[in-house]
Amino acid sequence: MVSGPDKTAAPGSSGITVIVVGLGLGGLTAAIECHRKGHNVIAIDQQKELRPIGDSIGIANNAASIVQRWADGEVDRRLQKVIAHPDIMAIHDSRGELLVNSDLAGYGRGHGYPAHRGDLAMAFYEYAKELGVEFRLGHRVLEYFETETEAGVVLDGERVTADCVVAADGIHSKARGAVLGTDPAPHSSGYAMYRAWFDAADVAADPETRWILAGAEDNDVTQVFLGTDIHVMIGTAKFGKELFWMCTHKDVYDVAESWSFPGDIDAALACIQDWPVAAKLAPILRKTPAGRLIDFKLLWRDPLPTWVSAGGRMMVIGDAAHAFLPTSGQGAAQAMEDAATVAVCLELAGKDNVPLALRTTQALRYRRASLMQQIGFETRNQWHQTDWQAVKRDATLLEMPRPSWVFSHDSQAYAYDEFRKAADAVRRNAEYTPTNIPPVGVLHRTMDFHRDIAQDA
């Protein structure tokens, strides 16, 4: 019996066993959703324990709606205690002059989960443990394999088998090579990003820096400052108790260099030393505790020819399949949509048709994720190569796009509604035309999600 978007299947009822590799937000969502749809799950990560590491991330409305179905809303209620609650993003130029107050419909209060990545991951992990998901932590995958009837991994000499493998092991995915037979090298986007997240007590205690916390006790603050080939974002979380900042800048290292470096605060400040507003920003950035700043490359890959292995029993999702720039605001959300979709497709296809399920998942997801990648590049270019004359005429050009086709999308309902059509196209080796993206010729960067909210109100 099919469970439907809002319901769960009996544990183990599908008879399908899924190995999930990589337990970031996408992998944890895959583990949870596969369990909820009646599949047995073996969740694997190389870390010996999952800890609340990382910094800022935003899960938009389209993915938050997946979480809101968990435990009759209980997980959502838990998250309200740890997420940020901003209403607007104030966008400034490098002089500090306000250009536009962009509302955060789709991201902010009541819609999404802007938060510390680690806080979100731990909430997902705790819920997965409550469900009874089997975790194998502290195991590095040495090998992937598949046959006509199963797929699996080799862990420290142990072969673990299942009906399929869903790999959410990130931009440096090992599974991608197993799926493709080769692993194309990543490209540098030309940019890297300094990132930090820390307690705001020292910022609050200093008269020179506490201005950034003004009003945060009622509504968390998000401020952006734009310059040529650089932008800085500073924000608060938990009603001003914590602070994060990030600085996207030109990448000076070769793509072969390590993808992540300990950050140097003086090097970060040098990026904005010519900005008139630097005198206000620098004291805040200098509050970053030692060891809390990183500088990492923003890498991307050309769209993969496929996310699914030749035998149809291994699949990559999330950053392993489609790396996003932070300016998309959708990297984690699209990984979660992948995860929810594959769980539904496995339920609908059944144990005898696992390869069909994975290939149908790709059909439902591929073009949507690729278009969202494009939006990230477009937004970065709007911010880094700003047409200031156009902005003088219309400052809303700098706002993050909030298309209804992105933020109002229900990936689970879509999978149930479209599975039969997409699966038929897969069987016939025909093209599937998705309806979860705008039709050809229709602008994909719109603000109609904001209008939808006004209409709903």
Query: Catalytic residues, which ones?
Result: 195
| Cα–Cα distance, 325 to 331 (Å, whole number) | 7
Q: Which two tokens stand for residue 93?
A: 């130029």
Question: Cβ neighbours of residue 330 under 8 Å, at least 6 residues apart?
Answer: 60, 324, 372, 375, 376, 406
| Cα–Cα distance, 385 to 363 (Å, whole number) | 34
| Cα–Cα distance, 309 to 320 (Å, whole number) | 13
| Cα–Cα distance, 319 to 171 (Å, whole number) | 5
At 229, the amino acid letter reads D
Cβ atoms of 223 and 234 within 8 Å: the answer is yes
Q: Could you tell me where the beta strands, DSSP code E, fall in 180-307?
A: 187-199, 222-227, 230-237, 242-250, 260-262, 293-300
Place of tokens 């591929």: 366
Pairing of the two strands 230-237 and 222-227: antiparallel
Q: Which two tokens stand for residue 221?
A: 């603050």
Task: Give 105's DSSP letter.
Answer: T
Cβ atoms of 235 and 86 within 8 Å: the answer is yes
Question: Cβ neighbours of residue 270 under 8 Å, at least 6 residues apart?
Answer: none
Cβ atoms of 196 and 55 within 8 Å: the answer is yes
Which DSSP string corresponds to 236-268?
A: EETTTTEEEEEEEEE--S-TTS-SEEE--HHHH
Rg (the chain; Cα; Å): 22
Q: Which backbone phi and psi does 3 adopt, to 5 degrees?
A: -80, -35
* Residues pairing with 144 in the sheet: 153
Cβ atoms of 89 and 104 within 8 Å: the answer is yes
